[in-house]
Amino acid sequence: MAKDNNTNPKKPKFSSWWIYGLIAIVLIGFQFIGSGNLSNQEKTTTSELQEYLRNGDVEKIMIITNARQAKVYLTDEALNKDVHKSVSEKPMFPSTAATPQYVLDYGDLQNFENEIKKSKADNDLDTIVDYDTDNNYLMDLLLGILPFALLIGIWIYLMRRMSGGGGGGAGGQIFNIGKSKAKLFDEKTDTRTSFKDVAGLEGAKEEVEEIVEFLRNPDKYTSLGGKIPKGALLVGPPGTGKTLLAKAVAGEAKVPFFSLSGSDFVEMFVGVGASRVRDLFKQAKDKSPAIIFIDEIDAIGRARGKNNFTGSNDERENTLNQLLTEMDGFGTNTNVIVLAATNRADVLDKALMRAGRFDRQIYVDLPDIRERKEIFEVHLRPIKTSEKLDLDFLARQTPGFSGADIANVCNEAALIAARKEKKAVTKQDFLDAVDRIVGGLEKKNKIITPGEKKTIAYHEAGHATTSWMLEHAAPLVKVTIVPRGQSLGAAWYLPEERLIVRPEQMLDEMCAALGGRAAEKVIFDKISTGALSDLEKVTKQARAMVTVYGLNDEIGNLTYYDSSGQDSYGFSKPYSEETAQKIDQEISKIIEKQYQRAIEVLTEHKDKLTTLAERLLEKEVIFKEDLVKIFGKRPYDKQFDEKGQEITETERTAEDRDEDIIAEEKA
């Protein structure tokens, strides 16, 4: 690759300013030639001129009246003298007119004439004295033309800037404002991303690879009567790899690839968005087969008719209408495929989502444990890691992380290792990176009073104790009272990756979250504001149980959640005031019940809670091993195989039986 880059160096772009510069150099050269600056002339004085006259060396004196200058011409005999050796050489540029050897600046013309006359009379000289004026016609012409040339030049420059030729931005492109701002991907100069760089996302990758194959080999599909799809919509949470997938398509497809953002269509002028859509598809059709990628399409693809209270013409709707027409209207070219990405598919217009426009909706979900391992492998390629680094362990430690989050973890781990002056990135660096990203920056110098520190320690110990004693609560990793970010302490959990959640699991998690405040109540008989984030989390969970998932007996199997995001309720709630009051009561009941439950658990294990808090005050950071020493082995811990699948009780029993058989055979 390096050789290819060296053999094809980037050629400098031709600029019209080079021509202007060359013309200026030529004009300056003519000026020098015309003024005699390049000829062999020397300055002389009046006394030297008198001496030359006495010696009979001067043939002619030309007095330039308008320049107060005299030009001295020597005789042929005088040029052979050593005195005039410096001016005897021929000029660099030959001239038809005679060139003077000396130039003299005089003061008063009359005095100068009298001195010359006296010298001629005293020495009986026949030196010719003549008079002339020095006119530089080229310079006069330039001075006359220069103001007009400057005005014309400024006008041309402004016109080019306004038309986009001078590299002006979107605000300066007056005459080119309706042109598309899509970037055409060039596989020769741009950094190439392939499908090998996209880890995980097997299903989405297959769908997109098929689209690329459509464009490479269309006969394979059209021979059976099939049609090439019009478009594919990539939907998923932020950071899951939607844009990366599009970059891989640009790198793999051997066709022109136009890339732009949804906001590039939006402008303050009316009709600009629709004009840019038309220009974009025109460019794509001219280069067909081609791919158009619109990132963050929700900027122009929102449902029409919403939030238009004024009744005025909506520029975004006009842009969307033009996009709909171009994707599936009269005269459309089937060799142009549109890729789009968004994390807000719920707000997109229904007409945009129908078959014939975006034929395929590819959901790019958060990676599971196996996909996270693959993503780690990709991002760890340029990083120097220790040989003992366990990728399965890293994948288990990062549940709910997106591809972008994992890339950030790898980069942060490398920075932490470099900060500690290590030669390779170790397992601990990755764990520190996860803590840094999830919790924030450590603030060891934060001023905390002993009383506050004790309260924080019991608060975090309460979380740890309740989660340890509850079956469905997330297993604990470590507890710390070192301030991070906005939190004064934290209990780190490793949540299970569940596809469905049962009520008892949600209730146990709520109880564990309320364990901090419950511990403050049990130990100090006082509560504090330190449980704000816990209360926020618990309230959201309780509200979801009642209003979204239908997990409350009093409200029943109802949900007030609209997955389309296009509900027709407006500002009004989809339930009555009586139901709203009942919902609030049920939410409060659920939370208070779990709070009392947390108090009961902590009261039962008060001695262990105190031991844990004291150890936490001593060490500031304690791990799962410390909790095992205090509470004993947790009865609810689950075991996982290499693929991240949970080992059931039956499988575990069978494994134990096999181990016993092997032990008996050895005996």
Catalytic residues: 460
List all residues 6 or more positions away from 90 whose beta carbon is below 8 Å from its beta carbon.
Answer: 40
Among 141, 149, 140, 114, which residue's Cα sits nearest to residue 129?
114
Helices (H), 548-648: 577-604, 606-619, 624-631
149: tokens are 């040339």
Among 534, 470, 484, 494, which residue's Cα sits nearest to residue 624?
494
Question: CA–CA separation, 612 vs 408, rounded Å?
Answer: 33
581 to 16, 548, 559, 578, 595: CA distances (angstroms): 75, 16, 16, 5, 21
281 to 184, 332, 433: CA distances (angstroms): 13, 9, 45
Question: CA–CA separation, 410 vs 437, rounded Å?
Answer: 11
Buried b (16+ CB within 10 A) or exposed e, 191-214: eebebeebbbbeebbebbbebbeb
Residues facing residue 361 across a β-bridge: 233
List, as one string, the DSSP characters of 56-120. T-EEEEEEETTTTEEEEEE-HHHHTSSTTGGG-SPPSS--SS---SEEEE-S-HHHHHHHHHHHH
Residues facing residue 646 across a β-bridge: 640
Question: CA–CA separation, 157 vs 498, rounded Å?
Answer: 63
